[in-house]
Homo-oligomer: A and B are copies of this chain.
Amino acid sequence: MSNLHKILDEKLVRVGVLGATGTVGQRFISLLSNHPWFIIHALGASPRSAGKPYAKATNWKQTTPIPSNVREIIVQECKPEHFSDCAIVFSGLDADVAGDIEGAFRAADLAVFSNAKNYRRDPLVPLIVPLVNDSHLSMIPQQQALHQPPLQKGFILTNANCSTTGLVVPLRALEKSFGPVEACFVTTMQAISGAGYPGVSALDIVDNVVPYIGGEEEKMEWETLKILGGIAEEDGKKAFDMHSRYPLRVSASCNRVPVIDGHTMTVSVRFARRPPPSPQQVREALVAYTPEAQSMGCPSAPVHAVFVHEEPDRPQPRLDRYYQDGAGVSVGRVRQCAVLDIKFVVLANNVSIGAATSSIINAELAVLKGVVKLPIM
């Protein structure tokens, strides 16, 4: 372990970013440029961008300038041979290309941490929200063993949809304290950055709400089960149990609103346990929740996994989305629900904990748990 920490402290873990010129890729680069362990070694994008220095290849849309140590890195095509020195490859690829490219990287024995949706439903690929279910890392050896040919270091690990992420963090905290949740109603008010760039047309969203985001409700209803569920083992074969021992019904209604960053949600839950916990007990359980990412010392983990607001009108995306660099989840207005048991408001920064930050903490956890094999140096 001391050898591991020496490697980390010397910042010797080389990482690559796929889809580096896109919205998620830019966010990865912003976060990784100051990372205490990881150093950006390779950037991949479309053939159109390949061969150019990063500063020329990207249409930078972040509110901080391009990190100076990244400006001159030459962008590569997304081919494994350009990333063979990378212990970790982060993928911000669009879904239309992510399937093939991420598959090829895994086949080349590379460890891929993906934001894309393509492998989320794969029965061997963990879908990990780092404040929730890093225990699912235990599925990686089986993924490697069943690959043809078997892999030594390579795997694919996905993180969840941005809206799912905001939901499952408080749900996990509640289940840990009070046992299974059996029903959950969620209405989202999602930021436009969740659709990427150019994404949502201004004509569709200024002075408007769009009460539909294609595929989003299905993702929230399904991903929640995979993430909050456990891992069943039968005949030596592991499988995600989809919360099946305690069936959980999730009903999601997803809306786009004119907010730049930060998904706000109204959530109502029913617990299996009767009587259910009181609002005050729920508040205390949320505050007390400490995921492994914190206790193991992941540098990108937030101090408060769930920050509970006491003011009646918070959280609000404009005021609260950048708290803790958006790495935690904010909850407010915990109160009785007349239909289910308890209702509350959730805010999650879709471009941080809802995207790149999740992948990075996942990678930190995978390094600390030895799932990522670091080169001996």
Contacts and interface: CB of A to CB of B under 8 A. Distances in A.
Interface string A314-334: 111111101100000000110
Interface in A182-229: 183-185, 187, 189, 192-193, 197-212, 214, 221
A74 B202 CA distance: 30
A62 B192 CA distance: 22
B264 A251 contact: no
Given A198-B198, A316-B210, A260 B185 contact: no
A337 to B, nearest CB: 5
A340 interface: yes
Nearest to A255: B189
* This chain: copies in complex: 4
Nearest to A253: B266
Given A63-B322, A253-B345, A339-B251, A203 B207 contact: no
Contacts of A251: 268, 337-340, 343
Contact of A206 (B64, B202, B264, B333): B202
A50 interface: no
A258 interface: yes
Contacts of A339: 183-185, 249-251, 340
A104 to B, nearest CB: 30
Most buried by B among A253, A319, A333: A253
A279 to B, nearest CB: 14
Interface in A240-274: 249-251, 253, 255, 257-260, 264, 266, 268
A258 B277 CA distance: 34
Contacts of A268: 185, 251, 253
A176 interface: no
Contacts of A266: 187, 211, 253, 255
Top 6 A-B pairs, shortest CB-CB distance: A198-B201, A187-B187, A253-B266, A208-B318, A212-B313, A251-B339
